[in-house]
Amino acid sequence: MPDYSIHDLGDIKLQSGQQLQKAFLAYKTYDTLDAKKSNVIVYTTPFGAQHTDTEWMIGTDMALDPNRYFIISPNMFGNGLSISPSNAPPPHDRGRFPNVTLYDNVVQQQRLLRERFGIERVQLVTGFSMGAQQAFHWGAFFPEMVERIAPICGSAKTSRHNFVFLESVKAALMADPAFRDGWFPDKPERGLRAVARAYAAWAVSQAFYREKLYEKLGFATIEDFLVNAWEVNMLCRDANNMMAMWWSWQHADISANDHYGGDLKNALGAIHARALVMPSATDCYFTVEDNRQEVRHMPNAELRPIPSIWGHRAGNPMQSPEDLKFLNGALRELLAS
Amino acid sequence: MPDYSIHDLGDIKLQSGQQLQKAFLAYKTYDTLDAKKSNVIVYTTPFGAQHTDTEWMIGTDMALDPNRYFIISPNMFGNGLSISPSNAPPPHDRGRFPNVTLYDNVVQQQRLLRERFGIERVQLVTGFSMGAQQAFHWGAFFPEMVERIAPICGSAKTSRHNFVFLESVKAALMADPAFRDGWFPDKPERGLRAVARAYAAWAVSQAFYREKLYEKLGFATIEDFLVNAWEVNMLCRDANNMMAMWWSWQHADISANDHYGGDLKNALGAIHARALVMPSATDCYFTVEDNRQEVRHMPNAELRPIPSIWGHRAGNPMQSPEDLKFLNGALRELLAS
């Protein structure tokens, strides 16, 4: 029995103009929508994760308290639960999955909230990484609907450096002979292992290794960490799904649409929600500096870096209780404001 | 006509205990050794470079002034000019080239100076990146011989994070079907392009892309920069030579030998040469913090970060005249001290 629900979207027109047929959104809700439909939190998913992978932020002892809030976690397109290269019916399966933007994602997420639940107001949109990028999109496109956003370790627009980092992991996967023009008829074992090692260098900080934090996670050596934390994780993934999500990530930009016409300052200025923007102090690809420049143009935002040496992985309780405490405190404060 | 000389080393015993037969060192000298043999500078080569690639630091208007100094540039083992997988006679050719440490390199470089030139004192050892790592080794192993060292963008010991970064580029190259257990019978085109993209993300800084410095270098777009700066460069390289040099880089550690027995503090403490350690402020893999911790244990050293946003590539005059001015000023000051 799956623990999530499916919302059929029908044939949708993507931002690119292309049609995606028989689209659907997988989502999970946590506890009860109140009578006024006033207690809604949208908790978005990051790259490569499904709602179950980020559930650890939800709990009665947490800011995202299901006794108090109705929390909806919509799965990002391409993550294997919502429509993705791995589960799309032909002709959009595998190597033929169309390019989907984060704009496309949030537009359909908003449909879900309206069509399925009749929700017109959202207390908070929050998420990590690409989930944070979706939170920025919610703020920019549904300002009348969103009270607060809390993007964690993510930016309103993917920076050029971040784009190049993603070029490098894509190229590593494409170097595998199983790539076969993007169809991956076999599992790209070596490519996935190469991607694992690339993430191991990028997703945690220089200080993480300096302080040997992998030992804190129970790994005896660096190689143990690379194989048993990263390779094992990456080998479970669908290569086409990753390619689809990387495309969305590389092209994330709240201003890249007819409404804002590429004017990022204008798009940031339109985010009237109270915003608490929380990069990790040591993130190597979603940097504090990128968020600092974005917050400068947001009328109602505060930049609050997480003082963490866990790099992009700041906040995961499996690793750093201090980061989690910081995040919960900040989210509680924001929700009370 | 080659512009360099060869010093035959005969059959040498490596630090690993393994023998490397018919070894040789390629080197170039710049102008004249004085009568007292007192004007010697050793200018080491970094990863993937040959002496011609770093010659831009030598000039009559530079700190490394060939009118004043006798500058010797020994090519690192594995770089294609000194003995390397690409030019070693069987049985040590290609995929069978033995693991060579930077200790092995500097021991043979010192032989060159003594055997060929009768040199007993060196005014300065300097170099970039892995060249900087060799400078640290010179300081730690020939303290009676070396007056000064100036490691630029490199560390005495390769940090764990730096090691993982190198794991990721190795894995990208090994994902190419041409890898064939390390023999690369064909050119690993895709792997080399993946390595190129990985370096493009690591070797310059986040700020480099934020400020669009690739435009300053004459590239119109990021893709133009990736293809015409990085891929073109990486496609010229020999995959086995890169693998050999990465091994040396990953295992660089002035204390990893019988003499210091893994005690890095002790090895750093033995560097009595005046040392000016110059990391780039924005280097993503040879970080300022790593050098800071090293300098703390060196009796006669100063840490002086290069205030650059060019990342690991700080100092290259093709790109940043300010960095070059900084380095020349610092080296002049050190040589005058």
DSSP string, B137-158: HHHHH-TTTBSEEEEES--SB-
Task: Kindly list the residues from chain B whose CB atom is less than 8 angstroms away from the CB atom of residue A165.
Answer: 201
- Say which of A171, A206, A222 has its CB closest to residue B287: A206
Q: Is the peptide bond before A91 cis (omega within 30 degrees of 0)?
A: yes
Distance between CA atoms of residues B283 and B206, nearest Å: 10
Cβ count within 10 A of residue B74: 30
Neighbours of A272 (CB within 10 A): 16
Q: How many residues does chain A have?
A: 337
Smallest CA-to-CA distance from B117 within B5, B10, B13, B22 is with: B5
Q: Could you give the dihedral angle defined by the CA atoms of residues A59, A62, A67 and A69, in that order, rounded to the nearest 10 degrees?
A: -110
Question: Who contacts A180 (Cβ-Cβ below 8 Å, separation ≥6)?
Answer: none
| B289-328 tens-digit pLDDT | 999 999 999 999 999 999 999 999 997 767 789 999 999 9
The b-or-e profile of B148-158 (16+ CB within 10 A means b, else e) is bbbbbbbbbbb
Task: Tell me, yes or no, if A221 comes closer than 8 A to chain B by beta carbon.
Answer: no
Q: What is the pLDDT averaged over residues A11-32?
A: 97
How far does CA A122 lie from the centroid of its chain?
A: 18
Q: Is the pLDDT of residue B64 over 90?
A: yes
Does the annotation mark B312 as catalytic?
Answer: yes
Q: How far apart are CA B158 and CA A130, in angstroms?
A: 32
Mean pLDDT of B267-276: 98
- Predicted confidence (pLDDT) per residue in A155-175, tens digit: 999 999 999 999 999 999 999
Question: Which residues in chain A are closer than 8 Å to B159, comparing Cβ atoms?
Answer: 206, 209-210
Q: Check CB contact under 8 Å for B194 and A168.
A: yes
In B, which residues are within 8 Å of A175 by CB distance?
172-173, 175-176, 188, 190-191, 193-194
In angstroms, the separation between the Cα of residue B171 and the nearest Cα of chain A is 5
CA distances from B105 to A74, A177, B12, B131 (A): 56, 36, 11, 11
d(CA B14, CA A135): 56
Torsion of CA B41, B44, B49, B51, to 10 degrees: 30
Query: How far is residue B202's CA from residue A201's CA, in Å, rounded to a whole number?
Result: 10
pLDDT for B167 beyond 90: yes
Torsion sign over Cα B180, B181, B182, B185: negative
Residue A37 has pLDDT above 70, yes or no: yes
- A175 and B161 within 8 Å at the Cβ level: the answer is no
Residues of chain A found within 8 Å of residue B196, distances taken between Cβ atoms: 171
Task: Write out the two tokens for B109.
Answer: 């470089």
Residues A257, A15: Cα–Cα separation, whole Å: 8
Please determine, for residue B119, whether its predicted confidence score (pLDDT) is greater than 70: yes
Kindly state whether A210 is in contact with chain B, defined as any CB-CB distance less than 8 angstroms.
Answer: yes
CA atoms within 13 A on the CB side of A255: 16
Q: What gap in Å lies between CA A314 and CA B296, rounded to an integer?
A: 29
Interface test with B, best of A159, A162, A163, A168 (most B CBs within 10 A): A168
- Per-residue pLDDT band for A317 (boundaries 50, 70, 90) equals low
DSSP per-residue letters across B119-132: ---BSEEEEETHHH
Q: Which uninterrupted H or E stretch holds A42?
A: strand A40-43
Q: Look up residue A151 and give its two tokens.
A: 């993007």
Q: In this predicted model, what pLDDT tens digit does every residue of A253-291 receive, in sequence order?
A: 999 999 999 999 999 999 999 999 999 999 999 999 999
* H or E element in which residue B42 lies: strand B40-43
Nearest to B167 among A208, A226, A289 (CB): A226
Provide mean pLDDT across the span B171-191.
96
Best probe of the A interface among B159, B167, B225, B280, by most A CBs < 10 A, is B167
Q: Which class for B227: exposed (0-12), middle (13-18), buried (19 or more C-beta within 10 A)?
A: middle
The answer to whether the CB atoms of A222 and B193 lie below 8 A apart is no
Predicted confidence (pLDDT) per residue in B121-146, tens digit: 999 999 999 999 999 999 999 999 99
CA distance to A4, A133, A196, B153, B227, per residue, from A81 (Å) = 9, 19, 22, 45, 35
**CA A209 to chain centroid:** 25
Rounded to two decimals, the pTM is: 0.96
Nearest-Cα distance to chain A for B166, in Å, is 9
Residue A334: phi, psi to the nearest 5?
-65, -45
Query: pLDDT tens, B201-216?
Result: 999 999 999 999 999 9
Active site residue B137: no
Q: Beta-carbon neighbour count of residue A121 at 10 Å?
A: 15
Asked whether the predicted pLDDT for residue A208 surpasses 90, the reply is: yes
Q: Is B299 helix (H, G, I), strand (E, B) or coil?
A: coil
Nearest to B334 by CA among B269, B294, B275: B275
Beta-carbon separation of A201 and B161 below 8 A: yes
| Token pair recorded at residue A241 | 């799904």
Residue-by-residue DSSP string for A102-117: HHHHHHHHHHHHHHHH
Q: What percent of chain B has pLDDT over 70?
A: 99
**Mean pLDDT throughout A15-26?**
97
User: Is A309 an 8 Å CB contact of chain B?
Assistant: no
